[in-house]
Amino acid sequence: MKVLLLGAGGFIGVNLAERLLADGIHETVAIDIQEEKISEISHNSALKYLHLDISKDEAEVDKLVAESDVVVDLVAFANPSLYVEDPVGVYDLNFTQNLKVVDQCRRHKKRLIQFSTCEVYGITAAKAFGLDSRDHPIPFIEDETPLIMGPVKNHRWIYACAKQLLERVLHAYGIRDDFHYSIIRPFNFIGPRIDYLPSEAGGGNPRVFSHFMNALLYGTPMKLVDGGRNYRAYTYIDDAVDCMVRIIDNPNNICDKQIYNIGTPENETTIAEFARLMKQIFDEEFKQPGDPDPQIISVSAEEFYGKGYEDCDRRIPNVDKARSHLNWRSKHDLRSTIYHTMKYFVNKHRVKQTAKTA
């Protein structure tokens, strides 16, 4: 099978490409405008990598779509700071530009695997009705749960709305044109190559793991937005990729016109608990003399992200569909997920420190 990966240079894309190459049964073509992460695997002669932008290189991308068997679209701005700083740019890439890929796949009659986000679920029904979601642990189910966004003034939701609208367009084309697609809603994947460390990249706002990892290595505060009271359920990237590959392979076409949550409900924790567990694991497994001992502090969402931000209070994935359709299970518990992700960044950091002193 010839697989075209769009946005292959990101965290999920590189790990997926690496797995496809290891399996050796798929011909993989990867495109992106970011090359830092994919450079780790681009030496593999089985990978064809092209520096292309879906918003500017439409003719070249269209030709690649026509030549593929399945298109995996990972192109996105997935950074909460951008949702607040550049909502129009976030909408343009996540909906307008991705819709062009949908049209290319429709025109060439190619199956599309579209990456969406668990953020399409928005806030929980409990929060919407003024209840405490800690007392109402209700999982999100792909084909049943209402999608509840915050008010328009909280333009952080423009990312989720753009992704949701793209899902609805795909569903409509599936009904009208028998268009074959699968939608993936990822729930908080972490693992090697996730984001970057702000102290090494000159600042910025990556995902929470990277902020906490940065604190453990460089001594910056472990900042808990609004006290870290909100919940997340973390999934190790290898487990997530295993599910993705099964969706690509699509046994007996079972994944056609389906939406899949990929997540690990057993790994749910508050952000505050996540910070404490990361610190505990680092101290037990990786800490060396002279390493910093960062403070854990609380900051407001507006202070951290800017005006117009609102957080998802709780995200529990129901993964019954992936389990029943694909016989998929996560293998890593929360501690294992954190440990293996942390090990990658610690090893990279130690190598850099050694090189500086050599």
- Mind listing the pLDDT tens digit for each residue in 53-91? 999 999 999 999 999 999 999 999 878 888 889 999 999
pLDDT at residue number 325: 98
Looking at residues 239-265, what average pLDDT do you find? 98
**What is the predicted pLDDT for the residue at 358?**
64
Round to the nearest angstrom and report the end-to-end CA distance of the chain: 46
Mode of pairing for the β-strands spanning 231-233 and 70-73? unpaired
> What Rg value do the Cα atoms of the chain yield, rounded?
20
Dist CA 73 CA 294 (whole Å): 38
What pLDDT does residue 196 have?
87
Higher pLDDT, 45 or 261: 261
pLDDT of residue 346: 96
Distance CA 14, CA 42 (A): 10
Asked whether 296 and 222 are in contact (CB, 8 A), the reply is yes
pLDDT at 355 over 90: no
Phi, psi angles (nearest 5°) of residue 260: -125, 125
Count other Cβ atoms within 10 Å, centred on residue 312: 21
Tokens of 10: 């990101």
pLDDT in tens, 10-39: 999 999 999 999 999 889 999 999 999 999
Provide mean pLDDT across the span 245-268. Answer: 98
Average pLDDT for 137-145: 96
Confidence band for 270, pLDDT divided at 50, 70 and 90: very high
Q: What is the Cα–Cα distance from 170 to 179, expressed in whole angstroms?
A: 8
State yes or no: pLDDT of 236 exceeds 90.
yes
Please tell me the predicted confidence (pLDDT) of residue 170: 98
Of the ranges 53-62, 127-136, 306-315, the best mean pLDDT one: 53-62
Token pair listed for 221: 């505060």
Q: Which amino acid is at 151?
A: P
Other beta carbons less than 10 A from residue 326's beta carbon: 20
Q: What is the mean pLDDT of the segment spanning 263-272?
A: 98
Read off the pLDDT of residues 332-341 as tens digits, 9 standing for 90 and up: 999 999 999 9
Please state, rounded to an integer, the average pLDDT across all residues of the chain.
Answer: 95
Quick one: pLDDT at residue 206?
85
The three-class DSSP label of residue 30 is strand
Give Cα 104 to chain centroid, integer Å.
Answer: 24
- How far apart, in whole angstroms, are the C-alpha atoms of residue 79 and residue 347? 25
Enter the DSSP assignment of 130: T
Q: Is 17 exposed, middle or buried (0-12, 13-18, 19+ CB in 10 A)?
A: buried
pLDDT at position 356: 74
What confidence score (pLDDT) does residue 42 get?
83
Six-digit token pair at 174? Answer: 């599936």
pLDDT at position 204 over 80: no
Tokens of 56: 């500017």
User: Beta-carbon neighbour count of residue 99 at 10 Å?
Assistant: 15
Contact 48, 28 (CB under 8 A): yes
Decide if domain 76-357 falls under CATH 1.10.10.10. Answer: no
Confidence at residue 357, expressed as pLDDT on a 0 to 100 scale: 72
Mean pLDDT of 223-231: 95
- Please provide the DSSP assignment of 306-347 as one string: -TT--------B--HHHHHHH-------HHHHHHHHHHHHHH
Residue 169 host element (H or E): helix 158-177
Burial per residue of 28-39, b for 16 or more beta-carbon CB atoms within 10 angstroms, e otherwise: bbbbbeeeebbe
Per-residue pLDDT, averaged over 317-325, amounts to 98
Enter the pTM of the model.
0.95
Task: Please give the DSSP secondary-structure letter assigned to residue 26.
Answer: S
**pLDDT average, residue stretch 260-284:** 98
Euclidean distance between CA atoms 249 and 228, whole angstroms = 38
- Calculate mean pLDDT across residues 178-191: 98
Please, what's the b/e burial string for 266-287 (b: 16 or more CB within 10 A of its CB; e: otherwise)?
ebbbbbbebbbbbbebbeeebe
Residues with active-site annotation: 159
Angle at alpha carbon of residue 165, lines to 163 and 169, rounded to 5°: 115
3-state helix, strand, coil in the chain (%, to 5): 50, 15, 35
